Amino acid sequence: MVNCCKNIRFEKVFISGLIYTAIAFVAHQIEILLTMKYYLMHQYFGAWSLVMMPSLGATPPANFFILSILFSLVTGLSLAMFYEFVKSLLAGSCCQKVCQFSCLLVVMSFIFFSLPTYLIFNAPLALLISWFFTNIIISFLSAMVFVKVLD
């Protein structure tokens, strides 16, 4: 096995990824309830994928939720592995590590998702702001999980 991976406890990475999936699912469901009006605005129907909205105004089919959960699991596993690689660079107490890692995730999300999404896609600014704040909550809660489980 590669030297960088020999100390990784993959069972704990998997557990962390599952917990991330639950956190992300609940947070996104709450966010969707609060922002549903944007998803139903006719001027934005072209912005949503056919997986999410196969026809105008239709509710997402079951396969969308299955893919959403699967993608959240992959994201959670990836972020848990990322934490495994950077945890030695984080200094301080448990709370300080949570703040440092969640800030790292939020900044990366802002740079690599929020800014390009605003420039490229036809999505309402209020929805982008909602996604950003949901991401802050998910990042903080998942950082707590990663620090507790993987340290």
Distance in angstroms (rounded) separating the CA atoms of residues 75 and 69: 10
Q: What would the two tokens of residue 45 be?
A: 């129907």
| Three-state secondary-structure class, residue 107 | helix
% pLDDT > 90, the chain = 75
Above 70 in pLDDT, residue 67?
Answer: yes
- Out of 47-51, 115-119, 137-141, pick the least confident: 47-51
Distance in angstroms (rounded) separating the CA atoms of residues 33 and 59: 13
Tokens 């934490």: give the residue.
Answer: 83
Above 80 in pLDDT, residue 72?
Answer: yes
Above 70 in pLDDT, residue 2?
Answer: no
C-alpha closest to that of 38 among 109, 108, 125: 125
Average of per-residue pLDDT across 36-42:
87
Question: Quick one: pLDDT band at residue 1, thresholds 50, 70, 90?
Answer: very low
pLDDT of 78-130, one tens digit each? 999 999 999 999 999 999 999 999 999 999 999 999 999 999 988 899 999 99
The torsion angles phi and psi of 41, rounded to 5 degrees, stand at -70, 130
Above 80 in pLDDT, residue 149?
Answer: yes
